[in-house]
Each structure stands twice: as C-alpha cells, then as structure tokens.
Amino acid sequence: MTDLRELLRGLWLPLVTPFRDGELDETSLRRLARHYSSLPVDGFILAATSGEGMSLSVSELERLVTITRAEISASRRYIPILLGLSGASTHKMCDTLDESAAWPIDGYLIASPYYIRPSQRGLLRHFTTLADHASWPLVLYNIPYRTAVGIDNDTLLALAEHPNIAGMKDCCASREQTIDLLRRRPAGFRVLTGEDAQYHNALVDGADGAILLSAHVETEAFAAVRTLLWEGNQEGAQMQWHGVADLTRLLFTEPSPSPAKHWLWRSGLIDSPEVRLPMVEASAELAATLDREIERRSPPMLRSA
C-alpha cells in the first residue's frame, strides 16, 4: 500500500478531463499529463469535480487513469494519483472500489454522500466501511455546499485515526472549523485546502498543501507561494500570491471547469473546450474576458507566434 500520508502535501492539480465530439480526448489528455508532469506539481487528482468525474463511465475512468499514469512514467518522475469518487450508496461505492482496485493509482478522493444528508453517525460508518474495504488509502472530501452535508470535526478526528484514511480535502467554507481541525488533528493526518481563493490563508494557518483548479494556469507561481512560505519568506509568498489571486476568482466566474477549459483550449493544451451536460461552455462574455487575460499574461514570444 502506498505511503500516501508522506506524499499528500504541496500543490496537487485536479486535472480537467478533455473531451472532443462527446468522447474522451486521449490526445489532449496525453498532452496535459506530459505538460503538468514537467511542472512543480506534487500530485494529480483525476475524475473529481474539476474532472467531471460523475459524467464518466467506468471504462472511461480506467482509460483516464491508465493514460495519465503512462505519461507520468514517461516523464521519469513519480507523481501520485488520486481517483475522485462520489456516490450516495455505500454498497455501490464498495463495488467501484473493487472495480478500480488494480488500477495504477495511489488512493481515492471520496466526497460525502450527496443529496440524502446522512447524520454524523452515518458519515462515520460510511467512510469507515469504505476505508475498511478499499485496497488504496482514502482522502476525505468535505464540501458541504455541494453534498448538502458537512463532516463535523469530531467525526473527522475519529476517521483520522483509521489507518487507511490519509487526510482530507477541505472545502468546509469555515476558516474557524479548519483552524480547529488543524489544531486538533493527529500527527500524520494531512489537510489540503480545496478553496482556491483561500490558498495563501490556508497555508499560513498550517494546511499541508492544496488541490487547486486554478493551478492549471501559472502553475509555477502557485507552487512558489507554497515553497516560499515553507522557506519562511512570507513577503515573497505574499507577492507571488498577489500575482495569481485574481485567477482564483476569474476561473470560477461561471461553473467550473468551463472557464479553465476555455483557457487551456486557447493556450493550445487541449483541442476543445467541450464539457458534458449539464455543464456548458463558458459564455461569450466570459470567453472574451478570459481571452484578454490570456493575452495579458502570455509571454511576448507566445503572443507573436
């Protein structure tokens, strides 16, 4: 079993899933994986919210993982992969864990059950059952504004004692709750923020890293915020953060990942900005705004190419 607790820190990228004409765009996927494998990314999340995971079939999930792992291996780096999973049935989730047990991943990112709003006791049993069943470690995903139920800190702390639960992606939307969790968590339980706009604050508060859609753009600058803070250079980290903070708002102006896919398409990293319904592509107004920002941030040589 992967020692995910040691790997679960730094800057993780929730990779978008490229589509073309309704199908998984494997050519663009290979290009994305090669590109980001060459940048200071500490891990990949596949098929989570940013990767439109709920729109993917099991066979597409397997191809997504296999292709990404192959491209990472070709880069001669080892970059861990988490597979995003979600569902409202514990039994069905266990079936999915079985189906993916032999895939080349390092763990799972699993959100709370959506829609049915279980109690804290139900959440504890749900995640404990999954952790007992899974062949790979789990990272919990606490995002109550999407799932309609939040994981309380007492529940999180109980789950943190499970040997097969390595950490969590924190989108609780309460800095107070996050600080309390960071203060009380057991040694080795990793907390990564998933709130792009709170990246700098979360690292200052003691988070181990972040999972950031915005880091598809200006990846080195987002990584530098983390590195400079770890080195004790708070002023330098603040300056780097000021240079990218606006991106964390712009790329979420409309439902994600449509704005990011438009940016990646215009930048030549994917061949289409296509998303799957009920997602729709960026509006004409936002597309024009994004294009202006791409032009402003592009190096002169790229702009003249």
Let me know if 261 is a catalytic residue. Answer: no
> Is the distance from CB of 178 to CB of 172 less than 8 angstroms?
yes
Report which of 28, 50, 13, 39 is spatially closest to residue 259, judged by C-alpha positions.
Answer: 50
**Which residue in the list 36, 169, 199, 261 is annotated as catalytic?**
169
Measure the CA–CA gap between 29 and 285, rounded to whole angstroms. Answer: 27
As a whole number of angstroms, the distance between CA 228 and CA 244 comes to 15
User: Does the annotation count 92 as an active-site position?
Assistant: no
Catalytic residue among 78, 108, 114, 141: 141
Determine how β-strand 190-193 pairs with β-strand 23-24.
unpaired
- Active-site positions? 141, 169
